[in-house]
Amino acid sequence: MGKNYIDIEDDRGETLRYRKHAKGRGLIAHGAKVHATATVEAGAYVEPGAQIAPGAVIARGAWIERDAVIGQNARIDAHAHIGVGSAVGPKAHIGVRTVVGDGARVAAAALIGDDETIAPGDAIATDRRGLWLAA
């Protein structure tokens, strides 16, 4: 095994292989798709099946779960958690320590603040100032 790979055992006892992303040195699981122009900072994790679009930024300590989709030029701030099967639209911004629940949808260009929680399955859109819009 080269020094660009690391094996980590998950909570189910399965061993997953991660590689360091060339732009930012974050850890990308085997089976995840991260565009070459995206940045995954050190300390961030991208799980199998996740997709990160061009220009997206995943900050330190962020965790992108299985099968999540991060849109083009989206920003996921430090220590945010994007749940299984969630989708974050293009140019959306997810704040520090924010949790996006499993299967939730964040609209394009939405601004989600720090320390927010989006419930599993919710669909969220905001105005330009980050105020949540009624569904």
State pLDDT tens for residues 75-111.
Answer: 999 999 999 999 999 999 999 999 999 999 999 999 9
pLDDT single digits (tens) 13-51: 888 888 888 888 899 999 999 999 999 999 999 999 999
Q: Residue 1 pLDDT > 60, yes or no?
A: no
Q: Distance (Å, rounded) from C-alpha 132 to C-alpha 135? A: 9
Q: Distance (Å, rounded) from C-alpha 69 to C-alpha 52? A: 6
Q: Which residue, among 117, 32, 12, has the nearest Cα to 58 in the 3D structure? A: 32
| CA atoms lying within 13 Å on the CB side of residue 91 | 7
| CA atoms lying within 13 Å on the CB side of residue 118 | 33
End-to-end CA distance of the chain: 49
Q: Distance (Å, rounded) from C-alpha 106 to C-alpha 103? A: 10
